Amino acid sequence: MAAKICVIGTGYVGLIAAVGLSDFGNIVVGVDLDEKKINMLKQGKSPIYEPGVEDYLNRNLESGRLSFTTAIDQAVQDSQVIFIAVGTPEKENEEADLSYVQAVVNTIAKNLIDYKVIVTKSTVPVGTNRWIKELLEKETGGNNFDVVSNPEFLREGRATQDFFHPDRTVLGCESEKAKEIMFNVYRTLNVTSVPFVWCSLETAELIKYASNAFLATKITFINEIANLSEAVGADIHLVAKSMGMDGRISPKFLHPGPGYGGSCFPKDTKAIASFGRKFGVKMNLIESVIATNEIQKKRMVDKIKKLAGTLEGKTIAILGLAFKQQTDDIRESSAITIVNEIIKDGGTVQAHDPKAMDNFSKLFPDIMYCHTAYDAVKNADAIMILTEWNEYRGLDLEKIKSNMNGNILLDTRNLLDPDVVKDAGFIYEGVGRK
């Protein structure tokens, strides 16, 4: 039987959850405070760039199973399963900010007129779901509900594939009734043999943070080895590829670059280190990863300074502003640190990104934004490739070179073949290869 679901928060995670859960045959209402977002969604338009999402959005709107509203009280009252998918950004003290979650829980408490399952999809520190349970008990004076921790593992840019084909579905769930309901919500994944991990609330919460922290560590490790490769004259591509041939290591997340970014690895590594301290466990490795990743971003600025002599009075073409390809998201993008440093050192930035220029211009209104990569390199002294957009792999190097003042190309994602770039007359540098 179709479950009646309300997804609160229609950002990257909530929107995908809403379209995905309705595609599974459930009746879903997506709720947000942001009226502009809700109006766009009602019209079948996605407020974010995410490949494939509009197809799912329109298909499910047309089926009548999916709707959107800002009327949160009614949406909660009408649903049996309430997904919380609001943001948990970093606070100044590096803890996760739970104020959005708390506001939603207060609203749910007011509208708990019959039994409901409250499902936390937002990434929340260990102990939060237990706290939500206690808060609801206190506010409602009863326990006509269950709380489930269901962390999300999707990646931006591949969000729909990840939602429909997850490696696992983790459900921190401590009641048989809620387990049956959640099984029904996700029945389609069961049919496709996705493993379900049933566990306690705390275990589910920690699985999420441990997974993100491990992936951030793996990237930081390969960045450090890339830096060593440069010093000793080794080729990081072959090092990473051969390491990855060992099944215990795997080749995934071994691509060196300008440091990881995005809305999750930076904040989640800081949050786990922070609640580790709270529980009396110092997370030395993770703290080192956080610091090393910051150094990696600055290292890219040092590289360009060294290549250009000075940045004072130089024009730097930045190709790629998003924190990774296939997204318009610039949260914690390495480009933010790098552009800031270039400007601070007296350089001028001409930037291009296929999807993220609107978002970046809200932070940096005064740099020059260009329609194409070729426009961005016009009269530039140097180029920095910061995001691994496929279109940068196929750049016409001769055309680029003839448009530039200088001939420096710093490829922080190792997208290009160094020999081909050098043959085209550039001074080339990548990460981890000479």
Footprint of ligand NAD (CB under 6 A): 8-14, 31-34, 37, 72, 85-88, 100, 103-104, 122-123, 152, 154, 156, 263-264
Q: Which CB sits closer to ligand NAD, 152 or 388?
A: 152
Closest CB to ligand UGA belongs to which residue? 264
**In the bound complex, what is the minimum distance in angstroms from residue 26's beta carbon to ligand UGA?**
21
Q: Which CB sits closer to ligand UGA, 13 or 66?
A: 13
How would DSSP label each residue in 309-358?
S--TT-EEEEE--SSSTT----TT-HHHHHHHHHHHTT-EEEEE-SS-HH
* Binder among 185, 215, 272, 377 for ligand UGA (CB under 6 A): 215
DSSP code, position 200: -
3-class secondary structure for 348-361?
EEEEECCCCHHHHH
Indicate which residue of 6, 173, 264, 370 is catalytic: 264
How far apart, in Å, are the Cα atoms of 125 and each of 57, 109, 284, 424? 31, 21, 18, 51
* Active-site residue flag, 264: yes
CB distance 318 to 392 below 8 Å: no
Rule CB under 6 A: say whether 172 interacts with ligand UGA.
no
**In the bound complex, what is the minimum distance in angstroms from residue 256's beta carbon to ligand UGA?**
7
Q: Which CB sits closer to ligand UGA, 79 or 325?
A: 325
**Which of the listed partners (ligand UGA, ligand NAD, none) does 129 bind, with a CB threshold of 5 to 8 Å by partner kind?**
none
**Side-chain half-sphere exposure of 402, counting CA atoms within 13 A:** 5
Q: Which CB sits closer to ligand UGA, 308 or 338?
A: 338
Q: Which CB sits closer to ligand UGA, 37 or 121?
A: 121
**Which of the listed partners (ligand UGA, ligand NAD, none) does 254 bind, with a CB threshold of 5 to 8 Å by partner kind?**
ligand UGA
**Which of the listed partners (ligand NAD, ligand UGA, none) does 100 bind, with a CB threshold of 5 to 8 Å by partner kind?**
ligand NAD
The number of beta carbons lying within 10 Å of the beta carbon of residue 292 is 18
Distance of CA 314 to the CA centre of its chain: 32
Question: Helix crossing, 128-140 with 99-110: angle to 10°?
Answer: 30
What is the dihedral angle through the alpha carbons of 15, 16, 18, 21, rounded to the nearest 10 degrees? 180
Residues 241-270, one symbol each (x = binds ligand UGA by CB under 6 A, - = not), give ------------xxx-x--xxx-xx-----
For residue 154, give the 3-state DSSP assignment: coil
**Which of the listed partners (ligand NAD, ligand UGA, none) does 9 bind, with a CB threshold of 5 to 8 Å by partner kind?**
ligand NAD
- 137 to 166, contacts with ligand UGA by CB under 6 A? 152-156
What residues have CB less than 8 Å from 214, skipping those under 6 apart? none
Rule CB under 6 A: say whether 50 interacts with ligand UGA.
no
**Which of the listed partners (ligand UGA, ligand NAD, none) does 265 bind, with a CB threshold of 5 to 8 Å by partner kind?**
ligand UGA
What residues have CB less than 8 Å from 77, skipping those under 6 apart? 111, 113
Across 141-204, the runs of DSSP E, i.e. the strands, are 145-149, 169-173, 196-199
- Nearest in space to 128 (alpha carbons), one of 145, 144, 109, 151: 151
Rule CB under 6 A: say whether 415 interacts with ligand UGA.
no
Residues at the site binding ligand UGA, with contacts judged by CB under 6 A: 123, 152-156, 212, 215, 219, 253-255, 257, 260-262, 264-265, 323-324
Query: Which residues carry out catalysis?
Result: 264
